[in-house]
Amino acid sequence: MTFLEQGAQELSQSALPGDPRRYLLSEVTAEDYRRTVAEGAERVAAKIAKVDRPATGISVAALEPEIRGIDLERPLSDSAAALDELERIYLRDAVYFHHPRYLAHLNCPIVIPALLGETVLSSINSSLDTWDQSVGGTLIERRLIDWTTDRIGFGSDADGVFTSGGTQSNLQAMLVAREDTLRRVRLQPGETEPDIAILPKLRIFASENSHFSVIKAARMLGLGDGAVIAVASDAERRMQPLALQQELAHCLADGLIPMAVVATAGTTDFGSIDPLPEIANLCERYGVWMHVDAAYGCGLLVSRRRHKLDGIEYANSVTVDFHKSFFQPVSSSALLVADGTTLGYVTYHADYLNPKHSAKTGAPNQVDKSIQTTRRFDALKLWLTLRIMGADAVGELFDEVIDRAYDAWLMLQSDSRFEVVTEPELSTLVFRYIPWEGASPELCDRANLHARSALFASGEAMVAGTKVDGHHYLKFTLLNPRTTLHDIATVLDLLAAHAAELADAYELSGSRAS
Ligand SMILES: *Cc1c(COP(=O)(O)O)cnc(C)c1O
């Protein structure tokens, strides 16, 4: 047998049933791959075509035994059977973000070009840590980083890296800010190595409406929760520059060291955007790192409302979440920095991966800029999105939900059953049901909590909840351009009915008791 014939025989054997090699994606199984992936897409398409509510409202107690009852020691050896099973334990009761009455969290419906990217990137499985694991992919990611920094308005020194999400982007931003601060503020003149003894003195300033990932980052960076100073917001839930200035002055007066100011461009609850130019001025004056958390608001970069982000170009670092307002599947996020050399704070050369000499030959190893090692080629999803539909189309989708939020706000304002907290800056609305004039705060809280959970249990729609000044509120996060004002009116009626039901029962039992 010739060498080639022997190879051919081995290949045909590996496609035999019983040989685990038939599950490996290879030249022998390419047809299987095509069929299996199509089978999965077919199930999802069939499901999506007939989903008529965002959720079924199934309880943990009802679903848990189904999953626990599956014997993982007995494989089905058949994708159709596994998909049938999956229908029962997942697809049937999943929460469908594409449904127009899904109004809960910052989950977007996703665009098909990005899903095409998802299929390609996970099939090729490039890893974006080193050039020799990602040839081509690294350059595509770099182009998208440059594209994003251009949109932000950073100069030619800018750089960045894709991350798993806003939480990781914020963590890396705080890491870079910490290292930068440690190097700028040396206790002893002439010292070259940063002195970690000053870590307990570092302070981060973020508005009281900022994302909790800032506090988590402080914890992981050895600073502790107390290092994050909550700066007061105004009635529109935007950081007050005067309050920031006072906090910065206090910090210095107490002998502490301002490490970073985190401005939020699109707070999670209110979509409010902190006053970026004023914050930039203060950061400049006090010599503090300015980070803009635009995890939610980044879609403005491609919208006709780009001006809402004016001042973002003065930041030292920016977090964007493409998986929020760019309609990308999870995960797709990036950290961008104005001065690319600052990403070097996470560089470490390992002989087995990215040796120093490879850096000298100019191999573009993205691991030198990332806190991850093996890393998905998430950038491909955004690439195909921009190449197929284009940035303006993405911006139009985001603009549409912002328009819708404004119309919904007008509607809520004229609806005496509800009280709404602020006019939306982006696409969220925080509001609550008021059973009747003079209803006790406790009754209001209970009615709104009940309305949310009863609505979820019905599966008819999903809304989020939050607290404002210690009281329970409801929240719409609009990210679906297909959600109509009629959908929103329907959900308000459903919420009101559930809330009224509880309020009436409460009133009855209250009067019986008295
Ligand atoms: C969602 C969000 C984050 C966290 O992003 P993940 O992608 O969920 O990790 C951070 N900041 C803000 C303002 C957010 O809305």
Tell me the pLDDT tens digit for each residue of 9-26. 665 655 567 899 999 999
- pLDDT band, very low/low/confident/very high, at 4 (cuts 50, 70, 90): low
Domain shared by 366 and 222, yes or no: yes
| Cα 349 to Cα 173: distance, rounded to the nearest angstrom | 21
The total of structural domains in the chain comes to 3
Per the domain annotation, does 450 fall within a domain?
A: yes
**Is 181 near ligand 1, meaning CB less than 6 Å away?**
no
Q: What percentage of the chain has pLDDT greater than the value 70? A: 96
Domain shared by 174 and 60, yes or no: no
| Cα 360 to Cα 362: distance, rounded to the nearest angstrom | 5
Question: The domain that contains 53 carries what CATH number?
Answer: 1.20.1650.10
- pLDDT band, very low/low/confident/very high, at 451 (cuts 50, 70, 90): very high
For residue 211, how far is its CA from the centre of ligand 1 (angstroms)? 7
pLDDT of residue 514: 41
Choose the residue to mutate in 97, 105, 167 for probing ligand 1, maximizing ligand atoms within 8 Å of C-beta.
167
H-helix or E-strand spanning residue 404? helix 391-413
Per the domain annotation, does 341 fall within a domain?
A: yes
Which of 428, 427, 430, 406 shows the shortest CA–CA distance to 418? Answer: 430
| Cα 184 to Cα 469: distance, rounded to the nearest angstrom | 39
Summarised one tens digit per residue, pLDDT across range 372-416 is 999 999 999 999 999 999 999 999 999 999 999 999 999 999 999
Domain shared by 223 and 177, yes or no: yes
pLDDT of residue 384: 98
Q: What is the mean pLDDT of residues 472-490?
A: 98
Judge whether 51 and 92 are in contact, CB under 8 Å: no
Range of the domain at 241: 127-376
For residue 319, how far is its CA from the centre of ligand 1 (angstroms)? 9
Summarised one tens digit per residue, pLDDT across range 60-113 is 999 999 999 999 999 999 999 999 999 999 999 999 999 999 999 999 999 999
Summarised one tens digit per residue, pLDDT across range 36-46 is 999 999 999 99
Domain shared by 169 and 312, yes or no: yes
Choose the residue to mutate in 172, 291, 293, 322 for probing ligand 1, maximizing ligand atoms within 8 Å of C-beta.
293
pLDDT of residue 512: 47
pTM of the model: 0.95
Question: The domain that contains 362 carries what CATH number?
Answer: 3.40.640.10
